[in-house]
Copies of this chain bind each other. A is one copy, B any other.
Amino acid sequence: MAKKLLRALAGEAVWPPPMWLMRQAGRYLPEYREVRAQAGGFIDLCTNPPLATEVTLQPLRRYGFDAAILFSDILMLPWALGQGLRFAEGEGPQLPPIRDEAGLAALDPARLPGAIEPILETVRRLSTTVGDATLIGFAGSPFTVACYMVQGSGSKEWDQVRLMAWCNPDLFTRLINLVTEQTIIYLSAQIDAGAEAVMLFDSWAGVLAPSLFRAHVIAPSARIAAAIRTRHPGVPVIGFPRQAGSMLGEFARATGVQGVGIDTSADPVVAAREVPAHVAIQGNLDPLVLVAGGEALARETDAVLAALRGRPFIFNLGHGIVPQTSPEHVAELVARVRAA
């Protein structure tokens, strides 16, 4: 019998739903903080197969989640293409921003295969150790990766990115195309190494006007989903266009993905109406109600379960788990979903 999460992504209304949590390998776990302290920098951890394998598996040991998601970062792609990347403590990622032809030309796709090798080695190790869990590989969506590549750091409004998209559409489109092609190579390599499903994280999709959303979120995601379908028939793709809002249904229909993540702000009742019935919905408990715990956690969990019961559905948060989350609250959540 296929794994629960893959059955949901094949369109089956599995009940109780398979579950995992975005950023489930993370600082809320003491065993993660211990490994993190040994690892040197964050990039060192992402490129250290024994340690990256270990932290990926930690939440499975504690909670028996239905998925293991490769421990890595969406910015490992620009890093692999030679764009300098550093994670300054408490500041978030910093990259030398790409603003012109020279910045684009400096990216070096020839570096990618060698650079991602330690990440693929982590996937290989995981593929023999995840057991009943589904091994999910991932990448950032081209738009969100391009956001960091152009802005050079995190941002609330991503004004430099949107300005480039409007003022220099040719340059921006070539950047998106390059990232799209490299993402296909990267995800395809993860699948060859043992990933059973792949996810595209599009954290900043919600800042775009509809025409830019169609050009730079939907079209590249559709291209990636089509390439995975051709090269790896049967391997599902989950898209997560965070804050897609009114564009969610169009995203689900037009990209051909097998699953869509919905963020905390989405009403799951509306999402269930907008997303085609054969596409799995993944989400969307507020990570902060998991911090709160108690009655609010129980009530909100039940609301998500009730809204998405009877259709293909993967229980998850609407955004990554936060560091101050109590591991006991996670255990309560798992028990409640399992008993649904």
Contact = CB atoms under 8 A, between A and B. Distances in A.
A276 interface: no
Interface in A192-228: 206-213
Contacts of A208: 264-265
A306 to B, nearest CB: 12
Contacts of A212: 286
A328 interface: no
Interface stretch (A54-62, A96-104, A118-126, A266-274): A266-274
A288 B162 contact: yes
A247 interface: yes
A30 B90 CA distance: 38
B288 A265 contact: no
Contact of A288 (B159, B247, B270, B288): B159
B300 A211 contact: yes
Nearest to A247: B267
Contact of A246 (B167, B245, B299, B319): B245
Contact of A245 (B244, B288, B289, B292): B244
A286 to B, nearest CB: 4
Interface string A140-165: 00000000000000101101001100
A275 to B, nearest CB: 11
A305 interface: no
Interface residues of A, number: 44
A245 B250 CA distance: 13
A303 interface: yes
A105 B162 CA distance: 43
A87 interface: no
B296 A166 contact: yes
Contacts of A244: 245
Contacts of A166: 286, 288-289, 291-292, 296
Contact of A209 (B248, B250, B300): B300
Contacts of A210: 265-268, 303
A208 to B, nearest CB: 6
A318 interface: yes
A121 B70 CA distance: 60
Given A166-B291, A270-B246, A211 B303 contact: yes
Contacts of A169: 296
Contacts of A188: none
B167 A265 contact: no
A8 to B, nearest CB: 21
Given A211-B303, A244-B245, A271-B246, A206 B265 contact: yes
B211 A322 contact: no
Nearest to A209: B286
Given A154-B156, A157-B319, A250-B267, 10 more contacts: A163-B291, A167-B291, A206-B206, A206-B265, A210-B267, A210-B268, A210-B303, A211-B303, A245-B248, A246-B274
10 contacts: A159-B288, A169-B296, A206-B265, A207-B265, A210-B266, A210-B268, A243-B245, A243-B265, A246-B265, A247-B267
